[in-house]
Structures are given as C-alpha cells and as structure tokens.
A and B are shown apart, each in its own frame.
Chain A
Amino acid sequence: MSADVTLVNLNMLFVRYVDRAEREIHLPLGPLYVAAALERAGLEVDFRDYQSCDARELLSEASIGGFLEGAADILFVSCMANLLPFTVLALRRYRAANPDAFIALGGVGPASIERPLLEAFPWIDAIAVGEGERTSVALARAVKEARKSGSNPIDLSAVPGIVWRRGGEIVSNPRPPRIEQLDGEPLPAWHLLDLSRYRGMNMISSRGCPYPCTFCSVAPIWGRRPLLRSADSIAAEMASLHELCGAELFLFQDEYFVSSAARVKEVCRAIRGLGFPARWKAFGRIDLTDPATMQEMAEAGCVEIRYGVESGCAEVLSRTRKGFTPEQALDVLSLAVGIFPGVDAFYMWGFPFEDRGQFQQTLLHMIAARAMGVRILPSLLALLPQTTIYEELKGSARLEFCPELFPEYMLTGCEVCDGGRMRIADEHCEVYDLVASHPELFPGFFHVDVEHNILPKYRLLQKFGFYSSEGRTELLGSDIDCCGAHSP
C-alpha cells in the first residue's frame, strides 16, 4: 500500500563556495514532529528529507523532480524563507506532472504570506499556518476522505489553521489552539530517517518566545507565547537519541531555553541524571542568564551558549525593542567566556534607521566581544515578512534587489561565495527572476538603500574581518551549525 502522505523537508543548510559545497545535515525537527503526529493518527507517512539527497546539483528542478518521484498523492512540503522561491518553482513542475496531487506547504518559510502566495502560485492548494501537528492531521484526513468519497472540489472548511482555495476564493481558517501540553506529544519520528547520517541532533525544550524584538521572525510564528516542556521529557528525549544512535552532543534550537533560572536548573538536573556524558548547546538571552544559571548549565554539559546581542548601540536596541543594553551584553559575554567553552554572539546590522555612528558602536562592540573570545556571527538584516520591522517599512521603503549581497538568512545554496562576492550560475537564474519580480512575497532577499545603508557598513565589517573580501578568504569560526534564532 502506498503512503497516505509524502512529507518533504526542505529546511536545510547548504552553502556553495567556488571550490566546494558545505552541507551540514540536521534533524528536521518541525517535519519530524508533524510526521509523528500523522503516524499517531494512523496515517502512513513517506518521509523524504532533501538534506539526504545525493544529487550533485541539489538545487535544480530536475534533482528535486527526481527526488519527488513516486510520492503519495498528498504532498506536504516544509521550507524556510530562503528556499521558498525554489520550492515554489519545484512544485510548479511537480504539479504539471501530477495534476491530481494535493499540494500543501508548511513551516516558517510561507508564514504570514500564505494568502498572497496562494494568489500568485495557483499550483499550491493550501498552506498550513503555525504549529503543524493538529493541522496536518486534519488536512491529510480531510483530503483522504474527500478522495475516497470522490468529492470534488474538496471541502477543507473544517481543517483548522490553513489558508486554502475554495474554487476561485482564498479562505483562511481559524488556527487551532496551541498545544498546551507539549509533553503529551509524540517524540519526533526519528525512525523515518537514517539517524547515522545526521550531525546536528536538534532538540527543542520550548516553543515560542515572549519578547517583542521587531526584527525577529521566530517569535511571531508562535504568537509570542512560550510553552515549555518538562525537564524530564527533555532528558528522556536525549536518552532516546543516545540509545538510538549514540548521540552525545545535542543542539537546543529553541530561543527560550533560558526562560527562568528555576527552569534551567530543573533541566540541568535532569540532564545530569542521564547515564552518559551529554554535551549540549543552547541559546541564552542576555538579561536571563545570571552567573549561577550559566554555571549550572556548564556543569550540566553545556559547551556553547549563543546570544542574540544584535547591536552595540543603546538606541538601536531600544528601537528594536530588544530589552537590554550594550553594557549588559558586555558584562554577560565576559562572564560567559569564563564559564562556557564556546560563546557565540549574533549581531544584526543594516537597519535602515541605523546611522553611521550607531553602526560604529555596534562594530566596536563586536571587536571588544571578539577580543574576549566570543565567536561573532554577524547577520545582515533580513526583511522577512513575519517581522514587525518589515510591516513598518512595507509600502514606504523602496526595496532594492542586490543578488551580490544577500543577507545570510536568505542564502539558498544556489549562490557561489567567492572571496566575499556572490555569483549565481545561469541555471539558477529562474529562481532569482522569480524573487526579483515578487518583493512582496520574498522581501527577505531585498534591502533598503544598498548604496548608503548597506555597502558602507559591509565594507567596514569586511575590513575588520567579520566577512571575507576579495583575496582574503581564510576561514575563521567556520562552524556552520549555527542558525540564529535571535536574529530575524
């Protein structure tokens, strides 16, 4: 019997340099949770992780076409904003070959632009909004039922949390309530993968972040409402991964791991109780990690903490509603360096309102933090559609497309990074043509005022070694397992 649903993961890390491609295969948590929910509901899932596709030219329509061959007639796809244009084109081709398939998108990529996406790309049938466990099950069941009963068009009005087409009309269904008891959910469906191929053992201890940072695309996705798992269920998940594939290094990918000192203490207690020497990495927040909490984390095996520092300028931090000061950040980073073997700091630059002096303060902050031993991860502001900052700029600011200089959040893997310059091969031009013609759908690829806002700042960052430049290509802090939840 063929599967009920094919679920495809296109969340992946893939960067191409002139001489090589860097890939790092991470557990695709979101899709794995969705798969687990589908299976629990008795649906058979054909899980396909594009991260494990061995095609040489990964981002070609032919490769993804081949990868999707033989998929079930309900196709669910998950992607981030960077691969959204590629995904859309791949699905067009898939639709042409499979006119009867039901195609739905989910994940963070399409978040908040579900309606315009459906308007622009008629080959997509529905887009899931937010948390996927309840929605995916209801959607798959409804489509399956409709197929069985031969009803056409399919009525999806009872499926919570989707935007879909009813005839020529696009309809938004109310979202299902958030899952309050995360412990009651099944663990990610690891058995659908060959775990031995995965390097990044991703986990989450919570869902959602309550802070209002205006450039952030993560918090809005969860409605800025955090829900936490219990310490014991987190430890149990680590134990299961250890048992299944010997994992000893875990990457907590949730942005609210350090929600409170008491909770961190609980989690650390549970981790210390594991029967093996677990090491792990987690995100911190400057104003939530006191020395005792940090010490607790380090003693429980936390080998790296990652902070979203974002700016070294008090006005910028205040305007983006970050909630702490540059001085606090310096204090905490310095303490953290003495406690953790690794400390990362994300800095965001390229805010349209950030003047030269404000940017210089950030640069100096980065230099001081680097001198302390912090690994600096700069990110060019990506105007992702979920962010408050984009909402504010939309309509008033002119968006400029500059494929030479995409924000790192938007790197797709089609670009070739060559000593600080970005090049795009002809075969990928279609993706970028699509992007260029749809700033309202893919604003993350665009900038505000490249000449005066972006380039001068970029050159300074290059000068101080935070980005490569022509003729200077030495790797520094080359770990690629990072993905800043605290940046857009």
Chain B
Amino acid sequence: MRRAVPVSELPVGIEQLLTIAALDAAFLEHVAADPVAAAAARGIRLDEAEVALLRNATPALLRQMAERLVVPKTIGRGTFMKAVAASIVAMVTGKAFLLCSGCTGADTFESEGGTGRQQWVTYDGHTCYLYVPKQVDADASMPAPIMVALHGEGETCLSNVQRWAQTADNYGFILLSVNWTEEATSDAGVDKLVQALASLATMGLEGRMPSGRFLCSRGTATPLAYRSGLVVHPLAWDGVVMLGGVPDGDWVNQPAQASEGISDDPPAVYYVSGDADPDFQQAKACVARLNELDVVCGHQIVSGETSAAILEFASIWLWLVQHKR
C-alpha cells in the first residue's frame, strides 16, 4: 500500500546534512546557523525543494533534528535497512559523497553480544564508534588494550562491534571503530588518516593509557592498515589483523616492489584470506613475501570468501596477545 521511489532518485541532501551534523559538533553549529551554506561547504548537493525546507526551519529545530539522529543504543537495528541510509551506502562506493553508512544505521545485522558502553564519538575530527566493555568502564584509571578497527566496503563502524564486542567483553579491551571512508578519498586524506590512527593508538582514549595497541582491517581497509602498521608507524602498533583484502601492490609478480618501505621492526600480523577471495593469489604471495622478510605472520586460510567465513575472534585475539612485541 505504501509505495515509494527507488532510493537513488530521492533527494537526500537533508539526510546527509543532518547525519554529518549529528557526528560533528562544529558542523552542527554551521548547519543550525545557515544550513544551505553548510551544505555547500561540505559539497552536499541540495535540491531546490530541500533548500526551501531548510530555509523554513528554525536553528533550534535543525539542531534538534541532527542531535536526535544518533540513536544511543541499538536494539534490533537490523530491521532498519532504510532507503535513505542505503542511498548513502551507495554513495560511499561511488565518488559523490562519502559517509559511513553505519552512522545512519543502514547496517543489516542485529547488534549481538556486547553489553558494554557504545557511542559515536569524534576524535580529532574523525568520526568513530567506541565500544568499552563494562569491566573496563568500571575503572577509568586502569590501562586497557585498544583495538582500532577499520571496516570494509559495504560495512559500517557497527560491523566491527559485531565482530569484536564479545571478545572485547571477555578479554577487556576497548574497541574504536573509525569511519575512514569519508577521509580516505585522496592520497593526502589517506596520509592524514594514517597519522590520525597512530596518534589515536598512542595517545590513548578518554585519558586512559593503552596497555596494548592493535589495528584491524577488513577487506578494502587492508591497504590502509598495512600502510599504517607495517610502513609508516610500525612502532605505534603491537599487532595488526587483516581480515581479507590485500595491501597495495603486485605481490605475485613484483613482490619486492610491493613490499618497498616495509619497516625493519614491524608488529606481528594476523592475516585471514579466503580461498575464494578474488585476490587470494595476491594474498598468498603477500604472506610469502612477509615470511621472507621475517615478519611474524599468522596466515589463516578459510574456505570460501573471507567475508562469509565465521571467524574465531577470541583465538585471533589470543594470537595477537601472544605475539605482541
């Protein structure tokens, strides 16, 4: 009975504006003061009807709308595969506008496990989703390990929570899932992000010193994790987990070139590949090269694609802790 249009045709400028404002306090002020100028500043295209709606709204209302977009705790969020959020996901993969779909709840999984505190936070201008297990939260003065996680394409920050929350609860580490897709659109953006990841790890969170620093990537984020963990800031990390994907370069034909710049003292790497991953041969060649270079590397090959595999995150965590430098 209720029918609507294919999402790609919807004007979604308002949703984009509100969503970013929800995650960025400074931008929120800009939106409240002049939503049309704020949109232009972020490259958000507004349709003329959207301009009319925004001009007709009071600053207080716009502020409230943005603030209420962030839902504090998700229960059964999976049912909200929303058209608009989906459109934002679609744009993530395209070039038009980059925003982590998780920020608007487009994720399709039920948030399982995880009784810890979870919330959107902004660190140094980067939008992140923070997960702090209860026992860690109980004593803010205790150092705790931190896992910085980068989601893959088509995933959201919440995907990392689904992945790691249970293990984080059991072993007491903080999880910080970074919305990286928005930033990593240019080389300069990637450099900035790599820098930010390292400082996130070293500075600690919420005034707490990290007792271990780990970086995890999934799929398309793997080149970024490799670059941060093994090339640019190896000392910032105690271990790196790469779930699928391959670091940049032609590892099969030009392994030496691909591994150029790798640090002399890299952290241990736990690498998962699926024998049906499209880049499986590259992944195998990459592992072979890392072994040649004496990088401590655990390679788990799963059957089928990595994205479909059921992984034992507790074992991955224990491996990391064992091989921590």
Contact = CB atoms under 8 A, between A and B. Distances in A.
A298 B74 CA distance: 12
A469 B14 contact: no
Contact of B2 (A326, A372, A478): A478
Interface of A: 13, 15, 22, 298, 303, 326-327, 330-331, 333-334, 337-342, 357, 360-361, 363-364, 367-368, 370-373, 377, 408, 411, 417, 420, 460, 462-469, 472-480
Given A357-B56, A372-B71, A476 B80 contact: no
A339 B84 CA distance: 21
A354 to B, nearest CB: 13
B68 A338 contact: no
Contacts of B167: none
B310 interface: no
Which of B54, B56, B83 has the largest count of A CB atoms less than 10 A from its CB? B56
Contact of A463 (B1, B11, B69, B75): B11
When A and B form their complex, which 3 residue pairs have the shortest distance between CB atoms, in order from nearest? A341-B76, A476-B4, A468-B3
Contact of A337 (B4, B6, B61, B80): B80
A475 B69 contact: no
B247 to A, nearest CB: 36
Contacts of A337: 71, 80
Given A420-B3, A474-B6, A371 B53 contact: no
A327 B64 contact: yes
Contacts of A460: 49
Contacts of A327: 61, 64
Contact of B64 (A303, A330, A478): A330
Given A417-B3, A463-B11, 12 more contacts: A15-B1, A337-B71, A338-B75, A364-B61, A371-B15, A371-B69, A464-B11, A465-B4, A465-B9, A474-B3, A476-B3, A477-B2
Given A465-B7, A475-B3, A368 B71 contact: no
B149 to A, nearest CB: 22
Contact of A373 (B3, B65, B72, B105): B105
Given A371-B19, A373-B71, A364 B3 contact: no
Nearest to B75: A339
Contacts of B49: 460, 463-464
Contact of B68 (A361, A372, A377): A372
Contact of B73 (A338, A370, A371, A411): A338
Interface in B35-49: 47, 49
A340 B73 CA distance: 11
Given A15-B1, A465-B5, A334 B69 contact: yes
Contacts of A360: 52-53, 56
Nearest to A368: B65
Contacts of B142: none
B18 interface: yes
Contacts of B80: 337, 373
Contacts, number: 131
A460 B52 CA distance: 11
Contacts of B83: 370, 465, 476
Nearest to B47: A463
A371 B3 contact: no
Nearest to A459: B49
Contacts of A468: 3-5
A463 B50 CA distance: 10
B163 interface: no
Contact of A364 (B6, B7, B54): B54
B3 A370 contact: no
B1 A411 contact: yes
Contacts of B284: none
Nearest to B83: A476
B77 interface: yes
Contacts of A417: 3
B49 to A, nearest CB: 6
B311 interface: no
Contacts of A303: 76
A479 B79 CA distance: 13
Interface in B139-196: none
A338 B72 contact: yes
Contacts of B15: 367, 370-371
A360 B47 CA distance: 14
B228 interface: no
B289 interface: no
Contacts of A13: 1
Contacts of A473: 3, 5
Contacts of B75: 298, 338-341
Interface string B59-97: 001001100110111111101101111000000000000
A472 B7 CA distance: 10
Contacts of B11: 463-464
Contacts of A364: 14, 53-54, 56-57, 61, 65
Contacts of A326: 61
Given A330-B65, A360-B56, A361-B56, A475 B4 contact: yes
Contacts of A472: 4-6, 9
A479 B4 CA distance: 12
Given A341-B79, A364-B53, A22 B68 contact: no
Contacts of B68: 330-331, 333-334, 368, 372
Contacts of A469: 5
8 contacts: A334-B71, A338-B71, A360-B52, A367-B14, A367-B15, A368-B68, A476-B7, A478-B2
